[in-house]
Amino acid sequence: MRPSVNRPPTPDVQENQEKEPTLQETINIKLIESGEKERLMELLRERLVECGWKDEMKAICRAFIKKKGRNNVTVDDLVHVITPKGRASVPDSIKAELLQRIRKFLVSAAL
Amino acid sequence: MSSKINSNNNNNHRINGQISLQPCTHLADFRSRHRSNPFRALQDCLRIKPPGGRAAIRRDPSEVPLCGVCGDSGGGRTRLYACVSCAAVHCHAPPGGGPSHAAAHAESARGGHEIAVDVDRAELFCCACRDQVYDRDFDSAVVLAQTAASTLHAPPHSVTTPTTIRLPQPENLRKRRRIDYRPWTPDPRERSLMGSSSSPLNGTVSDSDSNSDSRSNDLLPWGLRGLNNLGNTCFMNSVLQALLHTPPLRNYFLSDRHNRFYCQKKSNCNGNGNGDGIVNRRNASNNERNNNSRMCLACDMDAMFSAVFSRDRKPYSPAKFLYSWWQHAANLASYEQQDAHEFFISMLDGIHEKVEKERRKPHSQGNGDCCIAHRVFSGILRSDVMCMTCGFTSTTYDPCVDISLDLEPNQGGSAKMASTKSNHASNGEVDCLNSSQNSGISTLMGCLDRFTRPERLGTDQKFFCQQCQVRQESLKQMSIRKLPLVSCFHIKRFEHSSTRKMSRKVDRYLQFPFSLDMAPYLSSSILRRRFGNRIFPFDGDEPEASNELSSEFELFAVVTHTGKLDAGHYVTYLRLSNQWYKCDDAWITQVNENIVRAAQGYMMFYVQKMLYYKASEKQVAA
C-alpha cells in the first residue's frame, strides 16, 4: 500500500500561510469559522427551493439530458449548461436578503 | 447517472446489465488497487454537524480547506475536491468556468489520482470523467456515519466507535423488475367467449326512453347517474360519486371481482344455513351474527356499480347501501348531517372488516393486499422523530387510507387562527416560511410541504429518547413511504379548538393542481435531502416505492363543501374523459374546469397517472 494513502486528505494549513490573505478571503474564512456560512447556505437553499428556482434548473437539466441521451451527460456538462441561466435567474429579493445577512454578520464580527 | 468512459479505457464493466451502476474505469482501478478498504483514511475525516446535518470532509472540525494551487476556498465559482489517493485539495470548475486544478492534478499525477471527494458534500467525483461517481461502500459508510454521528459522543453503553463502522460486504444489487404495459385486445376465441357468456350492460333501457333523452345519454360518459338525497345524505352521495369513478375501484367491481350473488350465497351458508341446532344453541348471538353476515358493504357497492353503469340515467337511490352502512356504523345512523370524510373512512373500514371476517385471517393493513378498499387507498407514512440532544432517530411506519392536511395558517392574520395553531407557532421554521410566502395563496403543494417539513415538537410534548433514557425535545418529520394507487387528501376545514371549546369552519380558498407530482414528499426524497446523493438503500427495502413513474398523479374527483360547520351541502366534481361534471345529489351537469378550480375543495381524489386512462374512457363508451 502506498504510504500517501494514510495521509490526511487536506493539506497543511501552514503551506498556504506565506501570502497575505485578501479582505475577501478573510471574510470568507470568518464566515466559515463562525458557522455563519453554513447557515447562509441553508437559507439560500431554502429560498431557492421556495421561489421555484430549483425546479427551473431541474427542468433545464432534464431537457438537456433528454436531448443528449442519458449516457452522454456528465455533471460538468450540466453545471456548464445551467450556470449562466442559474446565475441570471436568482431573484433580486433573495440576493438582497443574503447581502443584508452578510452585512449584519460583518458588523457583529467587527465589534 | 452513468459516467462517461474515456475512449482509451474501454473495459467498461456492466453489473447485471445495470447501466446506472456501471463504475467509471478510474473508480474501478482505484478500488482494485486498494482492495481491502479503499476509503479508510477518508472515514476518519467525515464530519457531521449533529443532529442530522450534512456530511463533509475535514481533517479537523475547524479546518478551512483551500485549493493547493490557487488558494481558493471554493466559495465562488468553483467546488473543492480532495484527492482520495494523496489528500491534496484542489478546486474544480467545469470547462469554460475557469481552470480546474483538480483535473490538472489528476493528469499530472499519471494515473491513480482521478477520484476525488467533494469536501462539502462528501460525494465522490472522477476528475478525468468530470462526473459524479457512486460507490456503494463509500455511500453506505457516509450514511452510517451520519446516523451514528451522535452516538460517538453519547453515553458509554453505545458500542459504536469510529473504527467499527462496518461496511456491508456484499454488493446487494437488486434487479429492478418492470413489466411493460401492453394493451389487450381479445382474440377471436376470447371475443366469442365474451359474447356468449355475458349480457351487454345497455339493455333496452335507453331505447324505451324518449328520443331526446337517449341522444343526450350517448353524449355523456358512462356511469354518470345522479344519486337521490335520502334525507341529509349529500355527505354520502358526494363520496359515493367519487368512489364510483375511482378507476381501480370501478375496474374491480365492473370486472365482477366481487359478485354480490355469489357473496350472499356464501354468507348464507356460513351464517345460518338451515341448521336449526345452531340457532337453538346460541339464539341471541346468532341473530346478531346473521345480521352482520348479511350486511356486506362490498355487495352493496357491487349492486350500485351495476345500477349506475346500466345506462339508466334516472337518479338512483342508494337506500340499501345506506342501511348497510348504518348497521356497520350504528353511532352515525341517523338522518342528521354527517362529515363526508368520516363517512369515507367508515365505509372503507366497513369493506375491510367484511373481507377480514370472510377470510378469518389477520391481514396487516399497510401492505394493502387484504381487501379492495385498502388495495386502492392505503399507503404507508413514515415518521422520524429525532432527539435534539443526541440525534437518536426513531422511525415508525403507519398505514393510512388518506392524508389529512392542515390549511396553511391565515396570512391575513386573524388572531384566532394563531391561537388554535399554537404548536405550529412554536416552530420557528414555519414562521419564517410564512413571512416569505405572504403574497401567495395557499396551495395543496404548500400543505404537503408543511406536512413533510421537520417540525420541532414543543416542550409540552417531549418524546422519550431510547438512547438518553429521558424525555427530550425532538424534531419530527413525516414522509410518504409508499404511495397508494389513489391518494385522498382531506383538508382540515373543520377546526376544533380545545381551549375555547368551539368548532368552526375555515372557508379559505385552497388551490389544487390537476396533475400532481408526489416525488418530493416520498421518504426517499426526504432522506436524500438529509443524506445527499447516495446509492445506499436508505429504507432497507426495494426502490420500487420511489419509482418515478408512480409518483405522478391526476385529479379525478373533488368533494366540496359549502355552508357552515353544522349545516351545509356537499357537491362532487368529477373528471371523466377530461371533462368536468358537477354531481349535486340527483342532478348532474357539465361544468367548466374554471368552476372546479374556484371551488372550495374539502376532499381531493388523485389517481396514479398510469391508471388514469384519458383515451380508454372514450373507448368504453363507444
Asked if the Cβ–Cβ distance from A10 to B3 is below 8 Å, we say no
Q: Residue A35: inside a domain, yes or no?
A: yes
Catalytic residue (one of B34, B263, B363, B569): B569
Q: What is chain B's alpha carbon radius of gyration, rounded to the nearest angstrom?
A: 30
Any idea what the CATH number is for the domain that residue A80 is in? 1.10.246.140
Tell me, what's the pLDDT at B430? 38
Chain A residues touching residue B58 (CB < 8 angstroms): 10
Residue A71 touches chain B, beta carbons under 8 Å:
yes
Tell me, what's the pLDDT at B609? 84
Chain A residues touching residue B2 (CB < 8 angstroms): 70-71
Residue A87 touches chain B, beta carbons under 8 Å:
no
| Cβ atoms < 10 Å from Cβ of B148 | 18
Q: What is chain A's alpha carbon radius of gyration, rounded to the nearest angstrom?
A: 19
In angstroms, the Cα distances linking A57 to B125, B530, B546 are 21, 20, 21
Peptide bond into B513 cis (omega under 30): no
The DSSP bridge partners found for residue A27 are: none
Is there a contact between B162 and B64 (Cβ–Cβ < 8 Å)?
no
Q: Residue B340: name the closest of B615, B78, B561 by CA.
A: B561
Q: Which of residues 23-42 of B touch A (CB under 8 A)?
A: 34, 40-42
Asked if the Cβ–Cβ distance from B63 to A38 is below 8 Å, we say no
Tell me, what's the pLDDT at B181? 64
Query: Which of B20, B42, B59, B435 is the best residue to mutate to test the A interface, defined by the most A CB atoms within 10 Å of its own CB?
Result: B59
Distance, in Å, from the CA atom of B87 to the CA atom of B81, rounded to the nearest integer, reads 9
Residue A4 touches chain B, beta carbons under 8 Å:
yes
Q: Give the ipTM.
A: 0.70
Residue B65 touches chain A, beta carbons under 8 Å:
yes
Q: Residue A85: inside a domain, yes or no?
A: yes
Q: Residue A29: inside a domain, yes or no?
A: yes
Residue B117 touches chain A, beta carbons under 8 Å:
yes
Residue with cell string 372550495: B600
Phi and psi torsions of B488, nearest 5°: -110, 120
Residue B73 touches chain A, beta carbons under 8 Å:
yes
Q: Residue A4: inside a domain, yes or no?
A: no
Catalytic residue (one of B24, B45, B234, B447): B234
Q: Residue A15: inside a domain, yes or no?
A: no
Residue with cell string 486498494: B34
Residue A11 touches chain B, beta carbons under 8 Å:
yes
Reduce the secondary structure of B192-217 to three states and give it as a string.
HHHHHHCCCCCCCHHHHCCHHHHHHH
| Cβ atoms < 10 Å from Cβ of B413 | 9
Terminal-residue alpha carbon distance, chain B: 44
Tell me, what's the pLDDT at A5? 54
Query: Which of A73, A76, A83 is the best residue to mutate to test the B interface, defined by the most B CB atoms within 10 Å of its own CB?
Result: A76
For residue B62, give the nearest of A33, A74, A80 by CB distance.
Answer: A33
What domain range is A84 assigned to?
22-110
In a 13 Å sphere around the CA of B323, the CA atoms on its Cβ side amount to 10
Asked if the Cβ–Cβ distance from B45 to A10 is below 8 Å, we say yes
Distance, in Å, from the CA atom of B363 to the CA atom of B355, rounded to the nearest integer, reads 10
Tell me, what's the pLDDT at B195? 78
The DSSP bridge partners found for residue B242 are: none
Asked if the Cβ–Cβ distance from A50 to B58 is below 8 Å, we say no
Q: Residue A7: inside a domain, yes or no?
A: no
Tell me, what's the pLDDT at B493? 86
CA of A84: which chain B residue's CA is closest?
B97
Mean pLDDT, consecutive 10-residue segments, chain B of 622 residues?
Answer: 39 38 77 76 75 74 76 68 85 75 82 84 85 83 73 41 38 51 76 75 44 53 87 91 91 85 60 40 42 72 90 88 88 84 90 66 52 87 86 86 83 37 37 43 88 83 80 87 91 77 81 90 82 64 51 91 85 90 91 92 90 53 38
Indicate if the pLDDT at residue A42 is higher than 80: yes
Asked if the Cβ–Cβ distance from B71 to A25 is below 8 Å, we say yes
For residue A80, give the nearest of B2, B84, B96 by CB distance.
Answer: B96
Q: Chain A: give the shortest CA distance to residue B222, in Å.
A: 38
Asked if the Cβ–Cβ distance from B41 to A32 is below 8 Å, we say no
Tell me, what's the pLDDT at B120? 81
Q: Strand, coil or helix: what is B99?
A: coil
What total of structural domains would you count in chain A? 1
Strands B46-48 and B55-57: antiparallel
Is residue B234 flagged as an active site residue? Answer: yes
Residue B347 touches chain A, beta carbons under 8 Å:
no
Q: Residue A51: name the closest of A106, A5, A108, A97 by CA.
A: A97
Q: Which of residues 421-480 of B touch A (CB under 8 A)?
A: 433, 436-437
For residue B59, give the nearest of A10, A16, A38 by CB distance.
Answer: A10
Distance, in Å, from the CA atom of B603 to the CA atom of B243, rounded to the nearest integer, reads 12
Chain A residues touching residue B127 (CB < 8 angstroms): none
Residue with cell string 491513480: B112
Q: Residue A101: inside a domain, yes or no?
A: yes
Per-position DSSP letters for chain A, written without gaps between them: --GGGGS-SS--GGGG-SSPPPHHHHHHHHHHHHTHHHHHHHHHHHHHHHTTHHHHHHHHHHHHHHHH-TTS--HHHHHHHHHHHHHHTS-HHHHHHHHHHHHHHHHHHH-
Asked if the Cβ–Cβ distance from A10 to B86 is below 8 Å, we say no
| Cβ atoms < 10 Å from Cβ of B295 | 19
Q: Residue B394: name the closest of B471, B284, B311, B476 by CA.
A: B476
What amino acid occupies position B106?
Answer: A
Q: How big, in percent rounded to 5, are the helix, strand and coil portions of chain A?
A: 75, 0, 25
Q: Chain B: give the shortest CA distance to residue A100, in Å.
A: 15
Residue B346 or residue A15, greater confidence: B346
C-alpha cell at A50: 421556495
CA of A45: which chain B residue's CA is closest?
B529
Tell me, what's the pLDDT at B76? 59
Is residue B258 flagged as an active site residue? Answer: no
Asked if the Cβ–Cβ distance from A8 to B59 is below 8 Å, we say yes
Distance, in Å, from the CA atom of B385 to the CA atom of A93, rounded to the nearest integer, reads 34
In a 13 Å sphere around the CA of B568, the CA atoms on its Cβ side amount to 22
Contacts with B322 (C-beta within 8 Å, 6 or more apart), sequence order: B230, B233, B236
Residue A83 touches chain B, beta carbons under 8 Å:
yes
Query: Which of A10, A66, A102 is the best residue to mutate to test the B interface, defined by the most B CB atoms within 10 Å of its own CB?
Result: A10
Q: Residue A45: inside a domain, yes or no?
A: yes
Residue A20 touches chain B, beta carbons under 8 Å:
no
CA of B36: which chain A residue's CA is closest?
A1
Tell me, what's the pLDDT at A53? 92
H/E stretch holding B582 reads: strand B579-584
Indicate if the pLDDT at residue A3 is higher than 60: no
How many CB pairs below 8 A link A and B?
100
